Amino acid sequence: MAPSVLITGASRGIGAACARLFAQAGWDVAVNYNSSESAALALVRELEGLGGRAVPIRADVADPAQAAALVGRAEEEFGRLDCLVCSAGVALPQQLLTDTTDEQWRYVLGVDLDGVFYTVRAAVPGMVRRKRGSIVTVSSMWGVTGGSCEAAYSAAKAGVIGLTKALAKELGPSNIRVNCVAPGVIGTDMNAHLSRANLDALADETPLCRIGTPEEAARCVLFLAGEDAAFLTGQVLQPNGGLVI
Ligand code: NAP
């Protein structure tokens, strides 16, 4: 029986790259999306072409009822979940903390941190019952170092790392591994607002002299999800070209 994974925020970017790599590696994939339905449906058709099962599931992970229903639907489709990948995320334009409104703060914390809590909380009971499973969260280098004018995002992503480490301790005795990927600058829609000059400057600051691809972040996720990482838990893997060491 093929292993199964639910990937949140799989319609675009790093989540979509994860979906492709997991499917290529023989996993059945539940593709969560929120607003990008046509992209999610096209991705599911592409994954089915690889021979495995793929199902699109719409849910806003910031809503606890929708996040619980998302996990329930994925478990129903595949009979169980071997892995949960929490990639859904949003960012604000760079701005001072003092310019950040309550709504903006709640929006970022709601998707980037609460969304991880809600989906993980829903997925854990099934994994504990089977004494088997792995969870990979997606943080950011700003969750490790803090980013100037990125306070809400940095707070949410630091929270994801804390949640990951706490859960690794809590769930290790149940044979469930919990790890995190904290990418540097990756070429996705999240950075589409940056000018060519800004992207070039970020590449110049990076020891490997370029920004990363969604596939390079996804490779770290797939590694942590599977048996090659069987003795790794509570870890934060940082595909960032050396920008943050
Ligand atoms: P992206 O290309 O903008 O894609 C974001 C994904 O998140 C989309 O699939 C989107 O789905 C989904 N999403 C957003 N809000 C959601 C919600 N409420 N419920 C469910 N899904 C939701 O971003 P990305 O660059 O791939 O980012 C993926 C993850 O990596 C995020 O957690 C991000 O913080 C993290 N990250 C990115 C970078 C980078 O440089 N790109 C660096 C470090 C960390 P819909 O379009 O269907 O709404």
Q: pLDDT tens across 53-88, in order?
A: 999 999 999 999 999 999 999 999 999 999 999 999
Q: Is the CB of 104 under 6 A from ligand 1?
A: no
Question: Could you tell me if 195 and 20 are in contact, meaning their C-beta atoms sit under 8 angstroms apart?
Answer: no
**Closest by Cα among 160, 166, 212, 165 to 191:** 212
Q: pLDDT tens across 21-64, in order?
A: 999 999 999 999 999 999 999 999 999 999 999 999 999 999 99
Say if pTM beats, i.e. exceeds, 0.95: yes
* Beta strand spans in the chain (E): 4-8, 28-33, 54-58, 83-86, 133-138, 176-181, 236-237
Residue 245 has pLDDT above 90, yes or no: no
Q: pLDDT tens across 178-210, in order?
A: 999 999 999 999 999 999 999 999 999 999 999
Classify residue 16 by burial, with Cβ atoms within 10 Å: 0-12, 13-18, 19+: buried
Q: Is the CB of 150 under 6 A from ligand 1?
A: no
Within a domain: 83? yes
Residue 112 has pLDDT above 90, yes or no: yes
Within a domain: 241? no
CATH number at residue 156: 3.40.50.720
Within a domain: 242? no
Report the residue among 90, 191, 221 best suited for mutation to probe ligand 1: largest number of ligand atoms under 8 A from its CB.
Answer: 90
pLDDT attached to residue 209: 98
pLDDT attached to residue 45: 98
Within a domain: 45? yes
pLDDT attached to residue 123: 99
Residues 6 or more apart whose Cβ sits within 8 Å of residue 217: 14, 17, 138, 181, 183, 186, 239
3-state class (DSSP) for residue 69:
helix
CA of 192 to the centre of ligand 1 (A): 12
Within a domain: 243? no
> Is 153 a residue of the active site?
yes
pLDDT attached to residue 111: 99
pLDDT attached to residue 36: 98
Please state the rounded mean pLDDT for residues 97-111. Answer: 98
Q: How far apart are CA 114 and CA 28, in angstroms?
A: 26
Within a domain: 210? yes
Within a domain: 116? yes
Within a domain: 84? yes
DSSP state of 92: P
| Residue 86 belongs to domain spanning | 4-236
Share of the chain above pLDDT 70, in %: 100
Instruction: Give how many domains the chain has, as a whole number.
Output: 1
Atom of ligand 1 minimally distant from the CA of 214: 26
